[in-house]
């Protein structure tokens, strides 16, 4: 067998297995990939792996998926890029598709509602824990904290999330490089806050079409920086508010499915697509949200290390990251208003966050525990 074909088979086998078993979110995925490609297989050195992680962090899209794509390209060129990405994405897509079918068929039954009653607040606790960890990295000083609070406030009053992401990136880039060193002041926010446009949400449901569904997910894949959890802010803005294709509860349920399944959190798009438009919708949504990642990795792999080293672009990326965390905080608050509806759900949300802070178990186990708790609470009523 030619060496190139053998390498492609090795890549396919590894990333298919990870696609079925990589629970725990992007940080866990990265740790598992490092163990496999640095320690066990020695495909790349430690430094090369760190460089690939940095490359995946400075472009939009799901970090762990883009890392898989980078590893595939490093190991076997452009064919490896395609094979690694597809093999990591497809297993989770199939699992989510099965769960979406079960949700549509049985989610409205009393048992299904009891499951979701317990799962939804646990998901809020899981996201709060992730928000805390991401916030400690993104919010590095008082001015960045002020920026984060401002972004949350503007998001909650209806400012478009893309305006907030790129506006914050521009603000931080200019504040760090145009003003004198050490002159980062709260007053730097004022020129940005004053003209911020508020884009009203759609007041009526927009007709569902395959083309619109695909275009919406491509747009999200192109502009979404930060954790997969930030995806929920975009899903709520587009599918709940602007298009009216999902209810708030359906979005919460989509978040829960994302926590239960291995592989990329972005396969939440598969669930949304199925709920909106069945199997064609699931396939189109999945293709739309992941397609930009393949394109970005292919285009930027040769030059991406120099982007992070740039003082201007590095500052812009820091601004985008803090805005992404702030958007995540805003949508968490909105989802919590629907998920935490009484004392038991409040206890589940707080308990899930506390367990993650102290013991750090796999979030999928907490979601399953929430499902059991929901059934138990319903049985006791």
Q: How far is CA 155 from CA 185, 200, 227, 248, in A?
A: 22, 11, 18, 17
Sequence-separated (6 or more) residues with CB below 8 Å from residue 326: 147, 148, 149, 150, 151, 152, 155, 164, 168
Q: pTM of the full predicted structure?
A: 0.74
Most confidently predicted of 111-115, 167-171, 223-227, 277-281: 277-281
Domain membership of residue 311 as a residue range: 108-380
CA distance 144 to 318: 9
Average pLDDT over residues 93-97: 93
Query: What are the backbone angles phi and psi of residue 159, rounded to the nearest 5°?
Result: -70, 140
Q: Pull the structure tokens for residue 91.
A: 């297993």
Considering the chain, what percentage of its residues have pLDDT values greater than 70?
87
Classify residue 175: in a domain, yes or no.
yes
Classify residue 1: in a domain, yes or no.
no
Classify residue 330: in a domain, yes or no.
yes
Please tell me the predicted confidence (pLDDT) of residue 328.
77
Closest CA to 171 of 325, 330, 60, 321: 321
**DSSP 3-state of 149:** helix
Please tell me the predicted confidence (pLDDT) of residue 68.
94
Per the prediction, the chain carries an average pLDDT of 83
Classify residue 47: in a domain, yes or no.
no
pLDDT digits (tens, 9 = 90+) for 106-165: 866 667 778 878 888 887 888 788 788 778 878 888 889 999 999 999 988 888 777 888
Average pLDDT over residues 22-28: 67
pLDDT digits (tens, 9 = 90+) for 210-235: 999 999 999 999 988 756 667 888 89
Q: Pull the structure tokens for residue 373.
A: 């708790």
Classify residue 97: in a domain, yes or no.
no
CB of 273 within 8 A of CB of 283?
yes
262 against 55, higher pLDDT: 262
Classify residue 116: in a domain, yes or no.
yes
pLDDT digits (tens, 9 = 90+) for 300-331: 877 755 666 778 877 887 888 788 788 878 87
The structural domain count of the chain equals 1
pLDDT digits (tens, 9 = 90+) for 41-59: 999 888 778 778 767 777 8
Classify residue 187: in a domain, yes or no.
yes
Please tell me the predicted confidence (pLDDT) of residue 28.
65
CB of 164 within 8 A of CB of 320?
no
Q: How far is CA 14 from CA 52, 229, 317, 347, 375, in A?
A: 17, 25, 31, 40, 37
- Characterize 295-310 residue by residue with b for buried, 16 or more Cβ atoms within 10 angstroms of its Cβ, and e for exposed: ebbeebbeebeebeee
Radius of gyration of the chain (CA): 21
Give one DSSP letter per residue of 311-325, joined into a string.
HHHHHHHHHHHHHHH
Classify residue 9: in a domain, yes or no.
no
DSSP label at residue 24: S
296 against 307, higher pLDDT: 296
**DSSP 3-state of 366:** helix
């Amino acid at each position: 067998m030619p060496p190139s074909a053998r390498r492609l088979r090795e890549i396919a086998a590894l990333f298919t297995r990870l696609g079925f078993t990589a629970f725990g979110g992007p940080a866990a995925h990265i740790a598992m990939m490092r163990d496999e490609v640095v320690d066990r297989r020695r495909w790349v050195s430690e430094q090369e792996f760190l460089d690939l992680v940095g490359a995946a962090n400075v472009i939009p899209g799901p970090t762990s998926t883009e890392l898989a794509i980078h590893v595939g390209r490093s190991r076997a060129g452009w064919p490896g890029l395609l094979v690694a990405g597809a093999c990591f994405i497809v297993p989770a897509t199939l699992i989510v598709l099965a769960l979406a079918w079960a949700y549509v068929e049985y989610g409205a039954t009393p048992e299904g509602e009891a499951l979701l009653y317990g799962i939804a607040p646990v998901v809020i606790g899981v996201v709060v824990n992730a928000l805390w960890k991401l916030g400690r990295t993104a919010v590095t000083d008082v001015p960045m904290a002020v920026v984060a609070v401002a972004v949350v406030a503007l998001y909650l009053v209806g400012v478009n999330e893309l305006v907030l992401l790129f506006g914050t990136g521009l603000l931080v880039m200019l504040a760090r490089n145009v003003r004198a060193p050490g002159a980062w002041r709260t007053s730097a926010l004022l020129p940005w806050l004053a003209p911020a446009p508020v884009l009203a949400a759609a007041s009526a449901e927009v007709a569902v079409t395959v083309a619109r569904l695909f275009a919406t997910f491509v747009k999200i894949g192109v502009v979404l920086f930060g954790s997969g959890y930030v995806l929920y802010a975009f899903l709520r803005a587009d599918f709940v508010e602007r298009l009216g294709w999902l209810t708030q509860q359906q979005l919460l349920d989509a978040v829960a499915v994302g926590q239960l399944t291995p592989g990329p959190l972005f396969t939440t798009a598969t669930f949304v697509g199925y709920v909106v438009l069945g199997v064609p919708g699931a396939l189109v949504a999945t293709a739309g949200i992941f397609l930009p990642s393949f394109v970005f990795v292919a285009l930027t792999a040769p030059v991406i290390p120099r982007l992070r080293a740039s003082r201007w672009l590095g500052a812009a990326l820091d601004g985008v990251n803090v805005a992404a965390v702030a958007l995540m905080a805003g949508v968490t608050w909105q989802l919590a208003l629907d998920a935490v509806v009484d004392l038991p759900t409040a206890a589940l949300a707080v308990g899930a966050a506390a367990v993650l802070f102290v013991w750090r178990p796999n979030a999928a186990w907490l979601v399953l525990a929430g499902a059991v708790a929901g059934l138990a609470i319903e049985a006791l009523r």
